C-alpha cells in the first residue's frame, strides 16, 4: 500500500491510498476517513459505495460524511467503483466498463480478468483495511448511492452477519428489470437472469434482507426514477415485514446535493447499530 495523501479533517484524518489487488489484477485507489478516536484503538467502519462514473473521490469530497462520522466516532471507507488502467476493458457507454463495476464478479470476456468488484470489496480491500488501520472488524455497516446503493443492499443481503446495518441513497433496486442492470448483467455475467443473484428485490424475496436494519432515501424528483424501480423493492420488503424504512424525499433529485442533505441521518442510523 502507498499513501497518496493524508489531510487533517474534522479532528481526524482523510487519507487516500493505492494498493495492488489480486481480485482486479491491478492497482486500486480508496479513500479512508479515520476519526480522532482511532488514535486510541479500533473504531467501527462504514463502507460507502459510489455510483456510475464515480471514483473514490466523488463521495469523499461531495457527500459531507466526515463531519458526521467524526461526531459519531466511526471511520468511512470510499472504494473505487471499478478496476482501471491500461489493459482493463472499457466501453464508450458511460454505464458499462470503467466506472461501472456494479459490485459483482464478471464471468464473461473481456470483463472477467479484472471486473471482480464483489471479491475486491469483500475480500481484498477488507483484508488490507483491517490489517493496516485501527478498525473494528466486528462493527461494520454499509451504504451507497445509485449503483453503490445497489451494491450496499446486495452485499448486505449476501453477508447479513457481517454488516450490522445497510442504507442507500437512490439505489438501483431491481436491476434485472431496469436498463441499469439488464445491460450490465448481460455483458458481465452472460445473461440477465444470472443477475438475479445480485438484485436487491430478488434477494429480498428470499428473506435475505429480513433482519438487517435498512434505511433507503430516494428523491421524488429523481431524474432516473424509472431506472431505480424503488416500488418493486418497497413492495417486497413490506410483504416480508422486513426491518426497513423507505423515505421519498419531496423535491430532491439524484445529485450529491440530495446525498449531502441526508447523510447525517444515515450516519446516525448506522452509528446506532455500530455502537449497540
Q: What residues have CB less than 8 Å from 204, skipping those under 6 apart?
A: 157, 210, 233, 236, 237, 240, 242
Active-site residue, selected from the candidate residues 21, 50, 141, 146? 146
- For β-strands 43-49 and 135-144, DSSP reports them as parallel
Q: Which of 90, 119, 88 is nearest to 103 (CA)?
A: 119
Considering only CA atoms, give the Rg of the chain: 17
Which helix (DSSP H) or strand (DSSP E) does residue 265 occupy?
helix 256-274
Sheet holding 43-49, edge to edge: 2-9, 12-21, 26-34, 75-79, 43-49, 135-144, 163-169, 214-219, 244-249
Is there a catalytic annotation at residue 146?
A: yes
Active-site residue, selected from the candidate residues 82, 222, 266, 270? 222
Is there a catalytic annotation at residue 22?
A: no
| Dihedral over alpha carbons 252, 164, 22, 81 (to 10 degrees) | 0
Q: For the chain, what is the total number of helices (H) and then of strands (E)?
A: 10, 9
Does residue 54 contact residue 46 with C-beta atoms inside 8 Å? no
Give pLDDT tens digits for 200-221.
999 999 999 999 999 999 999 9
Does residue 4 contact residue 16 with C-beta atoms inside 8 Å? yes
Is there a catalytic annotation at residue 222?
A: yes
Give pLDDT tens digits for 80-130.
999 999 999 999 999 999 999 999 999 999 999 999 999 999 999 999 999
Domains and CATH numbers, the chain: 2-274 (3.40.50.1820)
Give the per-residue pLDDT at 113: 97
Give pLDDT tens digits for 47-92.
999 999 999 999 999 999 999 999 999 999 999 999 999 999 999 9
Say what the pTM is: 0.98
Give pLDDT tens digits for 21-46.
999 999 999 999 999 999 999 999 99
Amino acid at each position: 500500500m502507498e499513501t497518496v495523501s493524508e489531510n487533517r479533517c474534522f479532528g481526524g484524518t482523510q487519507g487516500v491510498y493505492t494498493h495492488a489487488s489480486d481480485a482486479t489484477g491491478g492497482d486500486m485507489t480508496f479513500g479512508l476517513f479515520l476519526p480522532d478516536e482511532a488514535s486510541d484503538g479500533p473504531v467501527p467502519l462504514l463502507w460507502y459505495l459510489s455510483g456510475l462514473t464515480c471514483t473514490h473521490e466523488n463521495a469523499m469530497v461531495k457527500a459531507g460524511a466526515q463531519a458526521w462520522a467524526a461526531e459519531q466516532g466511526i471511520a468511512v471507507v470510499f472504494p473505487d467503483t471499478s478496476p482501471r488502467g491500461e489493459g482493463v476493458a472499457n466501453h464508450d457507454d458511460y454505464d458499462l466498463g470503467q466506472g461501472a463495476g456494479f459490485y459483482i464478479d464478471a464471468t464473461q470476456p473481456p470483463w472477467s480478468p479484472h471486473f471482480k468488484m464483489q471479491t475486491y470489496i469483500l475480500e481484498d480491500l477488507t483484508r488490507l483495511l483491517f490489517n493496516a488501520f485501527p478498525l473494528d472488524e466486528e462493527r461494520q455497516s454499509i451504504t451507497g448511492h445509485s449503483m453503490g446503493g445497489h451494491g450496499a443492499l446486495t452485499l448486505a443481503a449476501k453477508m447479513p452477519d457481517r454488516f450490522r446495518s445497510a442504507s442507500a441513497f437512490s439505489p438501483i433496486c431491481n436491476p434485472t428489470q431496469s436498463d441499469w442492470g439488464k445491460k450490465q448483467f448481460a455483458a458481465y455475467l452472460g445473461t440477465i437472469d444470472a443477475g438475479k443473484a445480485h438484485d436487491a428485490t430478488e434477494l429480498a424475496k428470499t428473506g435475505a434482507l429480513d433482519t438487517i436494519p435498512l434505511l433507503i432515501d430516494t428523491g421524488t424528483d429523481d431524474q432516473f426514477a424509472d431506472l431505480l424501480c424503488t416500488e418493486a423493492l418497497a413492495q417486497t420488503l413490506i410483504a416480508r415485514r422486513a426491518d426497513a424504512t423507505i423515505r421519498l424525499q419531496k423535491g430532491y433529485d439524484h445529485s450529491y446535493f440530495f446525498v449531502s442533505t441526508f447523510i447525517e441521518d444515515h450516519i446516525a442510523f448506522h452509528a446506532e447499530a455500530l455502537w449497540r
